[in-house]
Amino acid sequence: MPKPTEFVREQVSSVRDTVASAAASAAAEASTVSDTVTSHVGDFIRNQRSSAHVSLRELARSAGVSNPYLSQVERGLRKPSAEILSAIARGLKISAETLYEQAGILDRRSGTAGTVAAIRADEALSERHKAVLLELYETYAREQARDVAAPADVGAGPPALPELSTPAESTPAPGTPSTKELA
Amino acid sequence: MPKPTEFVREQVSSVRDTVASAAASAAAEASTVSDTVTSHVGDFIRNQRSSAHVSLRELARSAGVSNPYLSQVERGLRKPSAEILSAIARGLKISAETLYEQAGILDRRSGTAGTVAAIRADEALSERHKAVLLELYETYAREQARDVAAPADVGAGPPALPELSTPAESTPAPGTPSTKELA
DNA sequence: GCACACCGCTTGCAACAGCTAGCACCGCTG
DNA sequence: CAGCGGTGCTAGCTGTTGCAAGCGGTGTGC
C-alpha cells in the first residue's frame, strides 16, 4: 500500500498528464483555426481596400507598413501582429476592433460593452479610482469563476466596506437612482 | 519654367517626403511607448498572479505557455502576441481585453456604454458583487465631482485597499540588454 | 518608341517570439 | 543529511514577422 505522500504525488501526476493531453489537443485545433483566420482577415482587408478605391501601395503608405508585407497579409501568407492590424485599420479608416475580430483577437460579443473597458473610459473617475475598481472587479470575477466551479458557503461574501448612507450631500443627483432603490 | 506635369510631380514628391518624415518621427515615438507598455503589462500579469496566489509555473501550465517565456514576459523582456496574452488571461481567469488594454492593443476608449450599465450587465459577477462595485463606483464618482469643484489635498485618495504597485522587479539584470537596446 | 511613375509581387535577411534543456536555490520528507 | 519536488531563471535554438532590394507588367506624357 503506498504511503500518503506517494499517493498524493501519483494523483497530482495523473491530473497533470490529463491536463497536458487536453492542452495538446486544444493547441492542434487552434493551429487549424489560426490558418483559416489568417486568410480571412487578409480577404477582409483587401475587400475594404477595394471598396475604398485605394491601391496596395497607398494603403501601405498611410498605414506605415511595407507594401510587400501588406500584399502577403492580404494573400494570407503572413499573420500580422495586433500592432500591424491597428496600423492597417488606421489606414483604412476603420476601427482596430473590426480587424481584431476578423483576426480572432477579439471575440464577437453580442453588444454588451466590457466592464473593464467601460471603467477605463469613464471620465467621472480619477485614475486612482479606476485602478481600485478594476482590481476589485478582477478579484470578484475570479471569485465568481471559482464559486461557479465549487459553490461556497452561503454566508461567504465580498469584503466588508464602509457604510455609505450618512450626510445628505451623498444623496444621488435627481434622475440618478441609488443602488439601494434599484435593489 | 518647369512644365505643368513636372511641377505636379515636384509637389507630390515634396508632400511624400513630408509624410515620410512625419511617419518616421511617429515610429520612433511608438517604439518608446512600446517598451514602456511591454514592462507595464508584465508587471500587471505578475501582480494578478500574486493576487491569485499562483506560481509562475502553475500559471504557465494553465495558460499553455512555457514558464521561462512567461518569466520573460513578466519581467518585460519579451513582447507577447495577442494569442499569448489571451492564453495568459484564461490562466488568470480574467478577460483577455484587460490584458489587451495593458498591452496597448486596445485603447481605453474602446467601450462607450456607461460603467453602471456595464457592471449591471456583467455576467461574470454575482448580484452581491455587482451591488458592492456599484456602491463603490457611486462613491468615487461623487468624490471626484466634489474634488473637481473644490480640489482636496493631493494626498487624499480612495479608501485603503490592497497594494497595487510593486517594486520595479522587472528591471533587467545588469549585462542583460533588452531586445530594443540591441536594435 | 522611350522615359517615367505606379502597380502587385518575389526573394533574402535581420530581428524577434516562444520554445527546450538545464541551472541554482529552497523547503519538505524520511 | 540525502533525496525529492517545487521555484524562477539563463542560454541557446527554431520558426516567424516585417522589412529592403529588386522584379516584370501597365499606363501616361513627350
ipTM score: 0.64
* pLDDT reported for residue A80: 95
Which one is predicted more confidently, B29 or A139?
A139
CATH number at residue A68: 1.10.260.40
A99 and A130 in a common domain: no
Cβ neighbours, 10 Å, residue A160: 7
Amino acid at site A50? S
Strand D neighbours (CB under 7 Å) are A 9, 12, 64-69, 72, 78-81, 83-84; B 3-5, 55-58, 67-68, 71-72, 74-75, 169, 173, 176
Cell of A63: 498605414
* pLDDT reported for residue B99: 92
Amino acid at site B70? L
The listed range with the strongest mean pLDDT (B31-40, B153-162, B169-178) is B31-40
Q: Which has the closest alpha carbon to A169: B156, B159, B142, B152? A: B142
HEC-encoded secondary structure of chain A: CCCHHHHHHHHHHHHHHHHHHHHHHHHHHHHHHHHHHHHHHHHHHHHHHHHCCCCHHHHHHHHCCCHHHHHHHHCCCCCCCHHHHHHHHHHHCCCHHHHHHHHCCCCCCCCCCCHHHHHHHCCCCCHHHHHHHHHHHHHHHHHHHHHHHCCCCCCCCCCCCCCCCCCHHHCCCCCCCCHHHHC
* pLDDT reported for residue B95: 87
B93 and B20 in a common domain: yes
A125 and A91 in a common domain: no
- Protein-contacted positions of strand D (CB under 7 Å): 5-11, 16-22, 29-30
Query: Rounded to the nearest 10 degrees, how much is the dihedral formed by the CA atoms of B48, B171, B86, A94?
Result: 120
> Angle at CA B110, nearest 5°, toward B107 and B114?
130
Domain limits for position A140: 113-151
Is A75 (CB) below 7 Å from strand C?
Answer: yes
Q: Which residue of chain A has the CA closest to B146?
A: A169
A8 and A97 in a common domain: yes
The pLDDT-based confidence of B180 (bands split at 50, 70, 90) is: very low
A128 and A48 in a common domain: no
In a domain, A165, yes or no: no
Average pLDDT over chain A, rounded to whole? 69
Helix (H, G, I), strand (E, B) or coil at B2: coil
In a domain, B162, yes or no: no
Residue among B101, B136, B142 whose CB faces A133 most closely = B136
Instruction: Give me the number of domains chain B comprises.
Output: 2
The pLDDT-based confidence of B39 (bands split at 50, 70, 90) is: confident
What residues contact A55, with CB distance under 8 A and at least 6 apart?
A: none
A120 and A82 in a common domain: no
Domain final residue pick, B112, B140, B172: B112
* pLDDT reported for residue A133: 84
In a domain, B174, yes or no: no
In a domain, B136, yes or no: yes
Determine contact, residues A61/B17, Cβ cutoff 8 Å: no
Q: Which region among A154-168, B60-74, B131-145, B146-160 has the lowest average model confidence (pLDDT)? A: A154-168
The pLDDT of B36-48, averaged and rounded, is: 86
* pLDDT reported for residue B172: 36
Cell of B21: 518624415
Whether the per-residue pLDDT at B25 is higher than 60: the answer is no
The pLDDT-based confidence of B143 (bands split at 50, 70, 90) is: confident
Phi, psi of A67 (to 5 degrees): -70, -35
Which one is predicted more confidently, B137 or A46?
A46
Average pLDDT over chain B, rounded to whole? 69
Cell of A100: 481584431
A123 and A63 in a common domain: no
B14-CA/D12-C1' distance, Å: 48
Whether the per-residue pLDDT at B113 is higher than 50: the answer is no
The pLDDT-based confidence of B33 (bands split at 50, 70, 90) is: low
B64/A26 Cβ within 8 A:
yes
Which one is predicted more confidently, B110 or A109?
A109
In a domain, A170, yes or no: no
A55 and A141 in a common domain: no
Domain final residue pick, B94, B112, B130: B112
* pLDDT reported for residue A2: 44
A76 and A98 in a common domain: yes
A93 and A71 in a common domain: yes
In a domain, A162, yes or no: no
B83 and B123 in a common domain: no
In a domain, B135, yes or no: yes
Q: Which region among B5-19, B90-104, B134-148 has the lowest average model confidence (pLDDT)? A: B5-19
In a domain, A159, yes or no: no
Share of chain B above pLDDT 70, in %: 56
Determine contact, residues A140/B50, Cβ cutoff 8 Å: no
Which one is predicted more confidently, B145 or B173?
B145
Low-confidence ranges of chain A (pLDDT < 70): 1-37, 108-114, 149-183
B18 and B100 in a common domain: yes
